[in-house]
């Protein structure tokens, strides 16, 4: 069973990691604050995260409410291999 409250990322962590660095088992990115022109180090796990941002709140069942999140998770799981293929200039093929 899924929890009622879940942090959901508006910008997926898998997309941020290539721009970040890992320190003490956590991933960080440098974020420039425009007003101060100063860079802060932010934990990728909380960057752009919001509670239940993509839940379909009108649906009673938690599994149904998380439909969009589950679909995005499937795509995000394939992202590293897709990015690797694009970098190598390979063509993408459908999974059998």
0.85 exceeded by the pTM?
no
Q: For residues 85 and 80, what is the distance between their CA atoms, to the nearest angstrom?
A: 9
Residue pair 66/55 in contact (Cβ under 8 Å)? The answer is yes
Residue 1 has a pLDDT of 53
Per-residue pLDDT of 12-45, as tens digits, reads 888 888 889 999 999 999 988 888 888 889 888 8
CA distances from 53 to 28, 37, 68 (A): 22, 29, 10
Q: Mean pLDDT across the stretch 62-77?
A: 74
Query: What are the domain boundaries of the chain?
Result: 7-88
């Amino acid at each position: 069973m899924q929890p009622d409250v879940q942090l959901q990322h508006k910008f997926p962590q898998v997309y941020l990691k290539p721009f970040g660095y890992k320190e003490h088992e956590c991933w960080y990115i440098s974020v420039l604050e425009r007003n101060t022109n100063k860079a802060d180090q932010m934990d990728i796990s909380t960057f752009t995260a919001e509670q239940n941002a993509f839940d379909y709140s009108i649906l009673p069942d938690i599994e149904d409410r998380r439909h969009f999140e589950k679909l995005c998770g499937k795509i995000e799981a394939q992202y590293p291999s897709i990015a690797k293929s694009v970098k190598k200039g390979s063509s993408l093929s459908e999974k059998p």
